[in-house]
Structure 1
Amino acid sequence: MTVNSTPQTADPAVSRPVSKSLVPLLTGGMGLSMLVLYTIGALGPSIIDDLGISRSRLGLLPAVAFGTATVLSLYAGHLTDLVGGRRAFIVLTALIGADFALLAAGHGYPMLLVALVLAGVPQALANPSTNKLIAAHLPPQRRALAIGIKQSGAPLAALIAGLSLPALAHALSWRTAILLVVPIALLASVAAAATLPRDQAPTGPRVLSLPAAPNAATRWLMAYSLCVGCGLASLSTYLPLYAHQRLGMGEQQAGALISAIGLSGIITRVLWARFSSRLSDIPSSLLVLAVAALGFAVLIPAATHGTWLVWIGALGLGGSAAAANAVSMIAVTKGRGFGQTGHASALVSMGFFAGFVAGPIAFGLLADGRAGFGGGWTLVCAVFLAALLCARAGRVTLRASA
């Protein structure tokens, strides 16, 4: 089977005034859905010291969350098309509150794993539900910027996590710091129920089904997202630990590296979204981002010769690798050959999440072995190189189908 390539059109609701809370809420929801990754990264030194676990077991924590998200992404797109973006978004924000409560309350490593399995559910729903709401309630000329802004929610979460969580963990405890997320997520769920536009009646099949097999356009974008996700998850999970253990930084300073990624990611996701909306050749944007990510990734292991290099690397990777997912979502939402928004978003997100599973596990095993952190950073450079090759293949595929 092939994915329906009919361009997406806005729902009739786009002709009506849209709540001013739409884009801010979607931005917050995207940030909350990814916050667990940045929480594990920012609090990694505290978690390892408290539980006495290895680097590879730390990497397993975000991996199980994104493993769940990868599997559920097979159904999340159609589920969102079936129940509506608004309902899916309300559910995902409520689940985030429940998940962080469980994460804070659970004692011992096995309970953390259970909590992170649950965290995969809102992650799977995040892109399909937010993209569905944008496609349904905003006109085409406003969608690219809206996508860029709401995708900046993830680096915004990184910025907040890196600045606040290590300090809160030092003053209180890392579990108490996590618990503070719960009321924020529940408030977002209530606000969504009160202000988001009502869902329209579904037009597709009423029976939940797997997405159609991806076409060529979707396949290369999934492969690209897999590679970028692998590198970005490794970076977000292990950069503070590397800075603390190998570069001698304090826990709060090491955690601030996550904020550096987030700060540059916020700015560049919005800028790239505005720029890419004017391009007919989106793979060119993705190619540039992959080249930049590879160049900045090389600076991280070189930071043993000067810690200032790790800050440049973090800022650069936030502006390249962290921005790539926003450009991928613009490609999906523009609907040129990728099929229905919900299904296509879920398939591309599945590739991205699969990278978030593989990256931290592989990096952790390398870091615990003879290769050490150097082997882990070599892996990160290799997957960004693979992303570059995927983007080149995407340019050829889309030109051939034009």
Structure 2
Amino acid sequence: MNAGAHQGAGQLRLGVVLTLAMGVGPLVIFTLSSLAPELVVDLSVQRVQLGILATVAYLAAAPLCLMAGPVLRWLHPTTVLLILFGLAAIALALIGGARSWWWLCSAAFLSGVVQSMSNPVTNLLMSTTPVRRRGSLMGVKQAGVQMGQLCAGIVALAALLVSWRAAALATVPICLLGLVLTLGLRRTHGPPTVVSVGPRGLPRAAWWLFAYSFFVAIAVQASNVYLPLFATDRIGLTSAVAGSTMTLIGLLGIASRIGWGRASDGARPASSSLRILAGTSLLAAGIFGLANATGNPVVLWTGVVVHAAGAIAANVVIIHALITIVRPEQVAAASGYQALAQYLGFAVGPLSFGLLVDRADGYAVGWCLVAMGYVMALTIARFAAIDR
């Protein structure tokens, strides 16, 4: 094999590994969400407890994000990836073998550990690639999250043919594939330079991006966690059809993230893209509110499409803008701060949504919460100095 073909194969392997690494942590939470109707019946999980599972994951992830810089100075990035794939496999196995809500909590906690490092380590490895390709690679990498969402939707459908436990366990080989492919990266990718960066060492624009991440995360994760249950409770869909909302979001989200990643390689300012994404996401929240008021499944599916086109793609633009703003040696630490903001939002969103829905005994107030998150993000994108 000539040098060009060998380099191309190495880049392909890197792209696949980065995509899988971004997908396996969220896959745990998405699987819990897509199986929510079965978990409510078989394990007596309450609606608010579903939100707590997501909160457990992201409260675990949030403080660990701040360890990204030190960990990646101490361990080779591929070693970190091997650990993450192993922990994700254990988490998915815990779901399949769950005997109580506490088993699910353990799986959620491990998911949080995996997600705390997935963005920093993958961003660090991606920063070694040519600048002209970073937007496209970023879109593919971040599409791994939606691939996890797609897989979770397939889990819900597979649960009709086998038990939900077997369907959950069938996802474990995805993590094993990541382990095998990662073993080949050490020969082709040396450890990039990592430096410690305090909060004051980052540009002000980076902190506006962190704030935008926080508010979008509140709304996105509240929507993702509760959509299947909303579809059964309010719209009247069966468990399998409700779970397929995850499948559709996953499919459309993959295309959305890849498309916005390619667009990020162009000349459009990040603030302009973020305004469009926040506005589209706000429209999706309004459509979900309309679906709640009418009980119309067509309105629900329309909201799912708009949600996938807007909110799901936001993280691609955020991270691409971030690694453009900061210096290469700051990427790991800056990614840790961004992940902290995002996971705090992920923790707040589902728990708040669940508490509001239980208190009001209806979903209207929950969709108002989602809309407010997007309003805050839109305000930041409109008035903050993100592009400099």
Q: TM-score, normalised by structure 1?
A: 0.89
Instruction: State the alpha-carbon separation in 2 of the partners of residues 175 and 344 from structure 1.
Output: 38
1:222 alignment counterpart:
210
Question: How far is the alpha carbon of 1:194 from its aligned partner?
Answer: 2.2
Instruction: State the alpha-carbon separation in 1 of the partners of residues 187 and 131 from structure 2.
Output: 17
Query: Which residue, out of 118, 124, 133, partners 2:125?
Result: 133
Paired-residue identity, %: 33
- Given that residues 144 and 330 in structure 1 are in contact (C-alpha distance below 8 angstroms), is that contact kept between their aligned partners in structure 2? yes
1:146 alignment counterpart:
137
- Given that residues 194 and 329 in structure 2 are in contact (C-alpha distance below 8 angstroms), is that contact kept between their aligned partners in structure 1? no
1:271 alignment counterpart:
259
Instruction: State the alpha-carbon separation in 2 of the partners of residues 336 and 344 from structure 1.
Output: 8
1:9 alignment counterpart:
none
The 10-residue stretch of structure 1 (82-91 or 261-270) with the greater mean CA deviation from structure 2: 82-91
2:270 alignment counterpart:
282
2:106 alignment counterpart:
114
Structure 2 unaligned spans of 5+: none
- Given that residues 81 and 202 in structure 1 are in contact (C-alpha distance below 8 angstroms), is that contact kept between their aligned partners in structure 2? no
2:82 alignment counterpart:
90
Question: How far is the alpha carbon of 1:253 from its aligned partner?
Answer: 0.8
Residues 359 and 191 (structure 1), Cα distance of their counterparts in 2 relative to 1, 3 Å cut: same
Instruction: State the alpha-carbon separation in 2 of the partners of residues 367 and 210 from structure 1.
Output: 40
Superposed CA offset, 1:309-350 (max 9, x none)? 111111111111000001111112224579711111111111
2:148 alignment counterpart:
157
Q: Report SS of the residue matched to 2:235.
A: coil
Superposed CA offset, 1:364-398 (max 9, x none)? 0011112521111110011111111121233x354
Question: How far is the alpha carbon of 1:289 from its aligned partner?
Answer: 0.2
2:305 alignment counterpart:
315
Residues 311 and 202 (structure 1), Cα distance of their counterparts in 2 relative to 1, 3 Å cut: closer
The 10-residue stretch of structure 1 (187-196 or 306-315) with the greater mean CA deviation from structure 2: 187-196
Instruction: State the alpha-carbon separation in 1 of the partners of residues 330 and 76 from structure 2.
Output: 13
Residues 186 and 201 (structure 1), Cα distance of their counterparts in 2 relative to 1, 3 Å cut: closer
Q: Report SS of the residue matched to 1:372.
A: coil
C-alpha root-mean-square deviation of aligned residues, in Å?
Answer: 2.2
- Given that residues 28 and 91 in structure 2 are in contact (C-alpha distance below 8 angstroms), is that contact kept between their aligned partners in structure 1? no
2:362 alignment counterpart:
372
Question: How far is the alpha carbon of 1:114 from its aligned partner?
Answer: 2.0
Amino acid in structure 1 at the alignment position of 2:19: T
Residues 370 and 139 (structure 1), Cα distance of their counterparts in 2 relative to 1, 3 Å cut: same
Instruction: State the alpha-carbon separation in 2 of the partners of residues 210 and 106 from structure 1.
Output: 41
Amino acid in structure 2 at the alignment position of 1:161: A
Residues 383 and 201 (structure 1), Cα distance of their counterparts in 2 relative to 1, 3 Å cut: closer
Superposed CA offset, 1:129-178 (max 9, x none)? 11111112x1111111101111111112212211x211222332222221
Q: Does 1:22 align with 2:14?
A: yes
1:63 alignment counterpart:
55
Q: Does 1:299 align with 2:290?
A: no
- Given that residues 77 and 211 in structure 1 are in contact (C-alpha distance below 8 angstroms), is that contact kept between their aligned partners in structure 2? no
Amino acid in structure 1 at the alignment position of 2:143: S
The 10-residue stretch of structure 1 (117-126 or 279-288) with the greater mean CA deviation from structure 2: 279-288
Q: Report SS of the residue matched to 1:279.
A: coil
2:381 alignment counterpart:
391
Amino acid in structure 1 at the alignment position of 2:137: A
Q: TM-score, normalised by structure 2?
A: 0.92
Residues 397 and 338 (structure 1), Cα distance of their counterparts in 2 relative to 1, 3 Å cut: farther
Instruction: State the alpha-carbon separation in 2 of the partners of residues 134 and 69 from structure 1.
Output: 21
Amino acid in structure 2 at the alignment position of 1:141: R
Question: How far is the alpha carbon of 1:248 from its aligned partner?
Answer: 0.6
Instruction: State the alpha-carbon separation in 1 of the partners of residues 114 and 149 from structure 2.
Output: 17
Query: Which residue, out of 111, 115, 125, partners 1:123?
Result: 115
Instruction: State the alpha-carbon separation in 1 of the partners of residues 74 and 179 from structure 2.
Output: 20
1:354 alignment counterpart:
344
Residues 202 and 242 (structure 1), Cα distance of their counterparts in 2 relative to 1, 3 Å cut: closer
Amino acid in structure 2 at the alignment position of 1:108: S
Query: Which residue, out of 247, 264, 272, partners 1:259?
Result: 247
Instruction: State the alpha-carbon separation in 1 of the partners of residues 329 and 382 from structure 2.
Output: 21
Instruction: State the alpha-carbon separation in 2 of the partners of residues 204 and 60 from structure 1.
Output: 34
The 10-residue stretch of structure 1 (322-331 or 337-346) with the greater mean CA deviation from structure 2: 337-346
